[in-house]
Amino acid sequence: MKVIMLGAPGAGKGTQAKLISEKYGIPHISTGDIFRANIKNNTELGKKAKEFMDQGLLVPDELTCDLVVDRISQPDAAKGFILDGFPRTIPQAEALTNALNKRNEAIDYAIDVEVPDEVIVNRMAGRRACVSCGATYHMTYAAPAKEGICDKCGCELILRDDDKPETVTKRLNVYHTQTQPLIEYYTKAGVLHEFDGTKDINEIFDSITELLGE
């Protein structure tokens, strides 16, 4: 099963992708998480990506497409994968389609999580992410058992650098201009499914599993 997640920053792509990955046993591939891991390890890719991410801009396609095409060719992705945060531009979607075409494959489901901009700005302020394993929480809607500490690995939870309100607004603008055209792209491909992302996390997941099957 090959799935992509679409939706604005903070729509809940990562939250749902993680649940899908666990239920269906396919790897969760988040380009944002890959870039953040590179920033943490101070790699060349991390240094380049940080310049764009901190400004709320997209990392250039040249740094992103090959990385994902290579990742989905790894053995653990042979039975499928869930892509979270990729594609984000039409050239990225075309690169993905071409890479899959070469293997006589295609995306099965494009899951679009819809949330109005006003709700998003509010959500991002409450998000906390683990510095070590990348797990995501929300101070109100998905709180950790112990404040400021990751349930999974016990490390510190932080506010992401790009979750400041002014950067969130910029990321939303980038989403509307560069990523939203993908809704039409995947509608035309016949695989787009829209979900109301303002509902409760588990309720959204139940609707997604109705689509993907048990």
CA distance 190 to 198: 24
CA distance 125 to 116: 15
13: annotated active-site residue: yes
Considering only residues 116 to 155 of the shown chain, the ones binding ligand AP5 according to CB under 6 A are 123, 126-127, 136-138, 141-142
Annotated catalytic residue within 36, 50, 123, 171? 171
Beta-sheet strand order (sheet of 127-130): 136-138, 127-130, 157-158
160: annotated active-site residue: yes
Chain position carrying tokens 């829209």: 194
Interface stretch with ligand AP5, choices 50-58, 69-77, 102-110, 182-190 (CB under 6 A): 50-58
CA distance 26 to 79: 7
> Which listed option, Mg ion, ligand AP5, none, makes contact with residue 142 (CB within 5 to 8 Å by class)?
ligand AP5
Q: How far is CA 176 from CA 2, 6, 92, 206, in A?
A: 25, 12, 16, 27
Interface stretch with ligand AP5, choices 55-63, 72-80, 101-109, 148-156 (CB under 6 A): 55-63
127: annotated active-site residue: yes
Size of the site for ligand AP5 (CB under 6 A): 36
CB nearer Mg ion, residue 72 or residue 113: 113
CB nearer Mg ion, residue 129 or residue 192: 129
CA distance 29 to 73: 12
Task: Supply the minimum distance, in Å, between the C-beta of residue 190 and ligand AP5.
Answer: 22
Amino acid at 66: D
CB nearer ligand AP5, residue 15 or residue 104: 15
> Which listed option, Mg ion, ligand AP5, none, makes contact with residue 9 (CB within 5 to 8 Å by class)?
ligand AP5
Residues 171/9, Cβ–Cβ less than 8 Å: yes
Q: How far is CA 135 from CA 138, 161, 183, 208, in A?
A: 11, 15, 27, 21
Give the residues lining the site for ligand AP5 (CB under 6 A). Answer: 7, 9-15, 31-32, 35, 52-53, 57-59, 64, 85-86, 88, 92, 123, 126-127, 136-138, 141-142, 162, 171, 197, 199-201, 204
Active site residues: 13, 88, 127, 160, 171
